[in-house]
Amino acid sequence: MPRRKKKLLSIDNDESTLTIVQIALEVTANWEVLSAQGGHEGLDLAMTEQPDTILLDLLMPEMDGLHTFKALRANPLTADIPVILFTCRPDLAEQLRQSGNDIQGVIAKPFDVLTLAKQVAEVLTW
């Protein structure tokens, strides 16, 4: 029986970043990649699709990454989904991770499309 494809949800306010992430991970890792433009859409998709992990942009208008993360953790349907912060502010993200938040890891932007899947897999020990 073939293994189920890994499913990743990318939450970012930048549409071009979402497209690049989706293409990079689908081509290099053969993962299913879902995209949400902003925190509210991301929360809805996380609940309905139950991804294996979430790549979450930290700096977004309306509902930023930290508020999105807290909402994910507060919901029993999404509380256990691993979250990787994906941001141009890795220093801030690392501070959040080390301050006791249940953040799986941090990947800095700009990123290399050819190594993004490897970075995600390393953070999650896939």
C-alpha 11/C-alpha 89 separation (Å) is: 16
Could you tell me the pLDDT band of residue 102, with boundaries at 50, 70 and 90?
A: confident
**Is the Cβ–Cβ distance between 111 and 14 less than 8 Å?**
no
Q: Output the pTM of the full model.
A: 0.92
Residue 88: pLDDT above 90?
no
* HEC assignment per residue over 53-104: EEEECCCCCCCCHHHHHHHHHHCCCCCCCCEEEEECCHHHHHHHHHCCCCCC
**Is the Cβ–Cβ distance between 56 and 63 less than 8 Å?**
no
**How does pLDDT run across 24-79, given as a tens digit for each residue?**
999 999 999 999 999 999 999 999 999 999 999 988 999 999 899 999 999 999 99
Residues recorded for the chain: 126
- Could you tell me the domains of the chain? 7-120 (3.40.50.2300)
Residue 100 tokens read as 């006791």
DSSP, res 35: E
Per-residue CA distances from 5 to 30, 47, 52 (Å): 7, 18, 10
Could you tell me the pLDDT band of residue 1, with boundaries at 50, 70 and 90?
A: low
Q: What is the pLDDT of residue 113?
A: 92
Which carries the bigger pLDDT value, residue 100 or residue 78? 78
C-alpha 41/C-alpha 19 separation (Å) is: 16
> Which stretch of DSSP H or E encloses residue 31?
none
Q: What is the pLDDT of residue 2?
A: 60
Range 14-22 average pLDDT: 96
